[in-house]
Amino acid sequence: MTRDPTAFLKSEYEELVKQALDWRLRELQGPSSPRAIVDGKEVIMLCSNNYLGLSNHPKLKQAAIDAIKSHGVGSGSVRPIAGNMDLHEELERRLAKFKGAEASLVYQTGFAANAGLIPQLVGKGDLIISDELNHGSIIDGVRLTRAERAIFKHTDVPDLGRVLDEAKKHKPAYNRILIITDGVFSMDGDIAPLDQIVKMSNPHGAMIYVDDAHGEAVLGKGGRGIVSHFNLTHRDVHVEMGTFSKAFGVVGGHISGSEYLRKFAYNKSRTWLLSGSHPPPVAAACIAAIDILETEPKHVENLWKNREYFIKSMQDFGFNTGMSETPIIPVMIGESDDAQKFSVRLFEEGVFALPIVYPMVARGQARIRVIMNSALTMEDLNSAITAFEKVGKELNII
């Protein structure tokens, strides 16, 4: 009998289950909202990246409906051929103005931006210097290059300086040096010291690329992101990558910087060139999200108010909230099994918050990752806090 070449799929999956490292998919039945229906149960949503609650905002829904009526449900092509619609161009103009950049380019996803652009910025004879906790999409983008790679300790600017000094001694000299960092780190909720990174890199003439997926519409003036947060410009930070899939409430990735960055990217990034463009309702909803950020500051303000209330309550109970500086709040548990149990019990208590376990984080560093939402009411927050206290005591975490 012929050996089954796919037998490893079953055995490797079963090993993940045995180690409590498998993802167990739950079903969202309706919109992503502060109180949502998941697997038939009403729960308080604490694990969605929908920071501002915009995914179900009436203005975004209406913009999408109007775009379907005027432009249909799809573009019919990739943008370089016949899929470059006026809505795509308008979105990029609006985004660039919002970000204070010369130009912006929209990608199909944030992952596509990193995987498509990083390999074009550097190649053989170049060096990439990357924060050790950078997102997997950055890591995959780096792996696609022929550049040499170096790592600096997490958010450690002196260690970055050490790597830059060593790079200066390299023979032959590197043609280009690209420093890449997340803006907000998705597992811990801490912020890259981007202003210090810029200062350290300037004497070396390095390019700086920041993935601001979790800072987009969260940090900076009116949610303009990490470059705004540190009062920098796109002459300081050469590539600011972001996403529409989180706080903007829709889907898609984007980059902002110089006009030549935009032109270079859309001519060189295969992920952009060879992927179908966003459906008209997606582009229109993203434009509506920018409108809301520019005219309704309450969403960002309330997000931070909710974050401060929740994290203080967690710390008052004795929970360890790690290095959080943002609406990403890790409630540290320890072992993966315990984090899985904690999440299950929270769900039974009406709170949807997922465990983050090895290998996404180091062994012994499993946590419940809470992602705060501006649309949560004080009643929602207090109910969630009560559930955390109950389960924390029950499982001897506090």
Q: What angle do CA 226, 179, 232 make, to 5 degrees?
A: 30
Torsion of CA 284, 286, 289, 295, to 10 degrees: -70
Task: Measure the CA–CA gap between 253 and 258, rounded to whole angstroms.
Answer: 17
Q: Hey, is 98 helix, strand or coil?
A: helix
Task: Measure the CA–CA gap between 180 and 350, rounded to whole angstroms.
Answer: 39
Q: Which of 6, 390, 51, 3 is nearest to 223 (CA)?
A: 51
* Catalytic residue (choose from 186, 228, 336, 343): 186
* Catalytic residue (choose from 57, 99, 214, 234): 214
Q: Hey, is 321 helix, strand or coil?
A: coil
Cβ neighbours, 10 Å, residue 264:
16
Task: Measure the CA–CA gap between 116 and 268, rounded to whole angstroms.
Answer: 8
For the chain, the C-alpha Rg in angstroms (whole number) is 22
How many residues are present in the chain? 398
Q: Hey, is 368 helix, strand or coil?
A: strand
DSSP-assigned letter for residue 77: S
The yes-or-no answer on residue 246 being catalytic is yes
Q: Are 49 and 247 in contact (CB under 8 A)?
A: yes
Helix axes 136-143, 110-121, angle to 10 degrees: 30
Torsion of CA 338, 342, 344, 348, to 10 degrees: 150
Quick one: tokens of 237? 């930070």
* Catalytic residue (choose from 99, 238, 246, 278): 246
Q: What are phi and psi of 38, to 5 degrees?
A: -125, 125
Task: Measure the CA–CA gap between 350 and 242, rounded to whole angstroms.
Answer: 32
The yes-or-no answer on residue 383 being catalytic is no
Q: Which of 81, 110, 102, 106 is nearest to 91 (CA)?
A: 106
Q: Which of 221, 372, 216 is nearest to 307 (CA)?
A: 372
Task: Measure the CA–CA gap between 100 and 256, rounded to whole angstroms.
Answer: 9
Q: Hey, is 352 helix, strand or coil?
A: strand
Residues belonging to the active site? 186, 214, 246
